[in-house]
Amino acid sequence: SAALDFLLNNLHRFPDLVKRNAVYTLSNLCRGKPSPNWTTISQVVQPLTDLLEKITDHETIIDILWALAFVSEDRDEGYNMFGEPNIVPDDWPESFQINAVIKTGVVRPVIKFIKQATTWREEIKEEMDEVLLKGMPDYAALQSIVPLELQQKQAISDRLMAPCVRIMGNIVSGTDEQTAVVVKAGFFAVIEKCVDYPVVVISKEACWALSNVIASADRNNLDMFFEQKSLVKKLVDLCLTEKANINLRKEACWCLGNALTLATFEQLTVLINLGFIEAMVKLLNTKLENSSCGKMEELGGLNLLEDILAMESISEHCHALLSTFLSKNWPMDNFGNDGPEDEEEEEEEEEEEDDDIYGNNSDEHDPGYEMDATLEHLNQIFSNFSYE
């Protein structure tokens, strides 16, 4: 479009603030589900990467990296966000979008930014440790002592790491040749610090990237993994740590599982000596409890919902919704919705009666409407705490 052409043609000429806004706009054009049209967004890849080497503004750098992270994701089938067919030509190579990102030369800058971000994190940790040795009374007091510059570096480092690790993960999810590009750029020089990063989401995505590298056909990748025994030990410890995020533990388990599948006898011995078997047993014994369910029971909400379920005055829709909600979140209890064989016919009759009483806009006047809405919200809240 004319707007896109204008932004790309003037990207280097814009003042810094305008440039930041232009990059933010281009970054947003690259995101979305379904994916934007590849022919359109592929035009922004090289100009953004070229700009990456010429700027120092971290906000702009982060937006460029997120744009490349979005572009390097697998394209969706079907239609894009504009309703246009998202068809990939037969003669295009596998993971073509990853190839487009690799060709820009962005992989090495990504590794460089990861090193920079982890260095900043180490600096602020050292500063925090020094302050703790002075016997600061609480964390709030600690924060007041830490220089603002270091606090800003910590925030920037976290925001810088996220798209960098995502780009690495997207590329190594492609072909073995594409994975090799990341490995040669210095993947194993930074991955341990990525896995050990104090932000769970970043650590989890680093484990995801590592599991794909380990599973690649290149035997050297597995050997380099086992050469870093501290990295192997870190993954085992993650699986063993019950207080660690369960999704992070799962990704760490995938790394070790992929390594186990391809390991030599000597490498298998390393895994066992580092506690691999104990880690797997502990993971198998992990109970995925829904904290919201426990809170609901503690506050007496479960008993209240059971009482509502037994009421004859609630609507059929409300009864069915509540039944489903309870059986989903408390599967061991019997919240059956047993009814006559012709239950569907009765539901249709009740719907007709409701229409007669309340008219076409019955939801606005139905006494059970607010209860239905409340249950819908409860269901949505609980679904956010479900485990996949």
Whether 336 maps to a domain, the answer reads yes
> Comparing 127 with 376, which gets the higher pLDDT?
127
Q: What is the pLDDT of residue 290?
A: 62
Residue ending a domain, among 284, 299, 330, is: 284
Task: Looking at the structure, tell me whether residues 97 and 113 fall in a common domain.
Answer: no
The Cα-based distances of 273 to 238, 254, 269 in angstroms read: 16, 18, 6
Residue 77: which pLDDT band, with cuts at 50, 70 and 90?
Answer: very low
Task: Looking at the structure, tell me whether residues 72 and 158 fall in a common domain.
Answer: no
**Which of 4-13, 31-40, 217-226, 276-285 holds the top average pLDDT?**
217-226
Task: Looking at the structure, tell me whether residues 329 and 279 fall in a common domain.
Answer: no
Sign of CA dihedral 20, 26, 30, 33: positive
Task: Looking at the structure, tell me whether residues 250 and 114 fall in a common domain.
Answer: yes
> What whole-number distance in Å separates Cα of residue 167 and Cα of residue 70?
8
pLDDT in tens, 117-163: 999 888 888 877 776 666 655 656 666 666 777 778 888 999 999 99
- Residue 285 predicted with pLDDT over 90: no
Q: What is the residue-averaged pLDDT of the chain?
A: 79
Q: What is the pLDDT of residue 47?
A: 93
Sign of CA dihedral 237, 242, 246, 250: positive
- Residue 180 predicted with pLDDT over 50: yes
Whether 290 maps to a domain, the answer reads no
Task: Looking at the structure, tell me whether residues 114 and 250 fall in a common domain.
Answer: yes
Whether cis (ω within 30° of 0) applies to the bond prior to 93 is no
Helix 343-358, helix 316-329: angle, nearest 10: 130
> What whole-number distance in Å separates Cα of residue 158 and Cα of residue 162?
6
| 283's tokens | 């993971």
- Residue 114 predicted with pLDDT over 70: yes
Whether 328 maps to a domain, the answer reads yes
Smallest CA-to-CA distance from 4 within 36, 43, 33 is with: 43
- Residue 111 predicted with pLDDT over 50: yes
**Which of 22-36, 240-254, 303-317 holds the top average pLDDT?**
240-254
Whether 298 maps to a domain, the answer reads no
pLDDT in tens, 182-201: 999 999 999 999 999 999 99
pLDDT in tens, 364-375: 444 444 455 555
The Cα-based distances of 103 to 88, 186, 276 in angstroms read: 19, 17, 39
Residue ending a domain, among 103, 134, 154, is: 103
Residue-range definition of the domain harbouring residue 348: 308-383
Task: Looking at the structure, tell me whether residues 158 and 223 fall in a common domain.
Answer: yes
- Residue 30 predicted with pLDDT over 70: yes
Residue 363: which pLDDT band, with cuts at 50, 70 and 90?
Answer: very low
Task: Looking at the structure, tell me whether residues 221 and 118 fall in a common domain.
Answer: yes
Whether 36 maps to a domain, the answer reads yes
- Residue 116 predicted with pLDDT over 80: yes
- Residue 53 predicted with pLDDT over 90: no
> What whole-number distance in Å separates Cα of residue 250 and Cα of residue 200?
12
CB of 307 closer than 8 Å to CB of 319: no
Which amino acid appears at position 302 of this protein? Answer: L
Task: Looking at the structure, tell me whether residues 64 and 128 fall in a common domain.
Answer: no
pLDDT in tens, 79-101: 443 444 555 555 455 678 999 99
Most distant pair of Cα atoms in the chain: their distance = 77
Residue 227, helix vs strand vs coil:
helix
Residue 85 pairs with which residues in a beta bridge? 79
> If you ran DSSP here, which 8-state letter would residue 76 be given?
P
Task: Looking at the structure, tell me whether residues 272 and 127 fall in a common domain.
Answer: yes
Task: Looking at the structure, tell me whether residues 249 and 361 fall in a common domain.
Answer: no
CB of 207 closer than 8 Å to CB of 259: no
Residue 375, helix vs strand vs coil:
helix
Whether 301 maps to a domain, the answer reads no
Task: Looking at the structure, tell me whether residues 97 and 162 fall in a common domain.
Answer: no
Smallest CA-to-CA distance from 115 within 60, 188, 217, 200 is with: 188
Angle at 172 between CA 170 and CA 177, to 5 degrees: 130
Q: What is the pLDDT of residue 40?
A: 84
Residue 79, helix vs strand vs coil:
strand
| 306's tokens | 């059971």
Q: What is the pLDDT of residue 125?
A: 81
Structural domain total, the chain: 3
> What whole-number distance in Å separates Cα of residue 61 and Cα of residue 67?
10
Whether 205 maps to a domain, the answer reads yes
**Which of 1-5, 119-123, 225-229 holds the top average pLDDT?**
225-229
For the ranges 167-171, 268-272, 305-309, 359-363, which has the lowest average pLDDT? 359-363
Residue ending a domain, among 284, 316, 336, is: 284
For the ranges 50-59, 112-121, 125-134, which has the lowest average pLDDT? 125-134
Mean pLDDT for the stretch of residues 247-251: 92
> Comparing 363 with 291, which gets the higher pLDDT?
291
Number of Cβ within a 10 Å radius of residue 320: 14
Mean pLDDT for the stretch of residues 239-257: 90
At 260, which CATH number? Answer: 1.25.10.10
Q: What is the pLDDT of residue 29?
A: 87
The Cα-based distances of 248 to 27, 77, 271, 332 in angstroms read: 28, 29, 19, 27
Whether 144 maps to a domain, the answer reads yes
Residue 219: which pLDDT band, with cuts at 50, 70 and 90?
Answer: very high
Task: Looking at the structure, tell me whether residues 179 and 30 fall in a common domain.
Answer: no
